[in-house]
Amino acid sequence: MSEREVGEVLPGECPKCGREMEVKPPEMPGWLSGVLSEINSQFQLVDFITRENAVEAEVCSQNPKEAFRGLLKKLRPAGYVPVMREKNGTLRLIVLRYPRPGPSNPLINVLLLLLTCGSTFLAGYFFIFGDVGDAALFSASLMLMLGVHELGHKLVAMRNGVESTLPYFIPAPNLLGTMGAIINVKSPIPTRESLIEMGVAGPLAGFGAAVLVLAAGISMSAPDPEGVSLVFVPVIFALMELLAFGSIPGMIRMNPLIFSGWVMMLLTMLNLIPAGQLDGGHVARGLMRRETHQSLTTAMGLGLFVTGIFLPEMPFWFWGLLILLFFRMPHQGALDDVSGVSGKHVLLGIAAMVVFILCLPVPSG
């Protein structure tokens, strides 16, 4: 670094030609100049440091939530994303290069859809009903509910500008013929409100579909001393039986819609456990800080594991073990992990908790 003043002329000191040399300020890389300009257009820039293709800036704003959204809208097309965090009482922006994700192959989604339709039909025929019509109805209703669940996630992802794949249905050689379905989120979730919306959308949509399917199944059924006994049923299942039959029977005339609705309710309950990267974990992380959420995740894992030991007929210990093993790293949250959430999004979190409680299993009969 030169000790000379910027603009000072040094006669005869050019090391290449021996002529005069003028001291000039260091040139700012074009990408850095553009990023700082965009930050300045939304925030008051206090200070910054640079790393390779990244900037960490201390900023101020009267309305950081709206300023961040404006900055994200400007930087994303240029291949950068901002991350907003609070550090030592100051507002920090970390701007990182984030290339646009490549396209997915929809043929894989279609192939998995067809395979899962086949595997759920075979499971319904060989493991559960032994009848072609019942197996087909079981497969169709279960696939419909899983599809509605994933469609809820997909539509809300599109609404929030989050890139995601089509659903990947997962065929499996088990009692149900499937391990459910997932969508792959390919870009960061921008805000805590978006995180809540994306976490709650799938379970609420799937729960609504399951209520309709279960209602249709119960309307075609009746208590039956020679029927099927379900060891446990979701709370909403028991309430619907009470409404339809005047009691909660221990034995019921089983049909494919009852069984698929029962399965979907339990899957919804598991998805809404407020831990880790589960749907309920996304909702909880949108409502609380990282450290609090990680403590809740650990508590949920331990609680489910211990509960499963004392209630072996309900495989909670298995889910508790999975949570403890796979969700040891804290949930990183949304890009904007500083701004608060609206009252509407708090109500969405409460709605998720209500659905979770309605899907909790209780002894049958």
8 A C-beta contact, residue 82 and residue 75: yes
First to last CA, the chain: 82
Domains, the chain, in order of start with CATH, read 30-97 (3.30.1360.100), 107-363 (no CATH)
| pTM score above 0.75 | yes
172-201 pLDDT per residue, tens: 999 999 999 999 999 999 999 999 999 999
Of the ranges 166-170, 187-191, 312-316, 334-338, which one carries the lowest mean pLDDT score?
A: 312-316
Q: What is the pLDDT of residues 240-286, one digit of tens each?
A: 999 999 988 888 999 999 999 999 999 999 999 999 999 999 999 99
Quickly tell me which residue has 């319904």 as its tokens.
124
Computed over every residue of the chain, the mean pLDDT equals 90
DSSP 3-state assignment of 25?
Answer: coil
Burial pattern 264-302, b for ≥16 Cβ within 10 A else e, equals bbbbbbbbbbbbbebbbbbbbbbbbeeeebbebbbebbe
So what's the pLDDT on residue 22?
64
- The predicted pLDDT at position 8 comes to 65
**Statement: residue 3 has pLDDT above 60:** no
Percent of the chain surpassing pLDDT 90 = 72
Whether the pLDDT of residue 17 is over 80: the answer is no
Q: What is the pLDDT of residue 1?
A: 37
pLDDT at residue 229 greater than cutoff 70: yes
pLDDT band at 14 (very low <50, low <70, confident <90, very high): low
Residue linked to tokens 């990267």 = 277
Question: What is the average per-residue pLDDT within 348-364?
Answer: 93
Please report, to the nearest 10 degrees, the dihedral formed by the alpha carbons of residues 182, 331, 336, 99 taken in order: -60
- What is the dihedral angle through the alpha carbons of 203, 308, 259, 204, rounded to the nearest 10 degrees? -10
Q: Tell me the range of 1-15, 46-60, 74-88 where mean pLDDT is highest.
A: 74-88
| Per-residue pLDDT reduced to its tens digit, 140-162 | 999 999 999 999 999 999 999 99
- Condensed to tens digits (0 to 9), the pLDDT of residues 56-112 reads 999 999 999 999 999 999 999 888 999 999 988 899 999 999 877 888 899 999 999
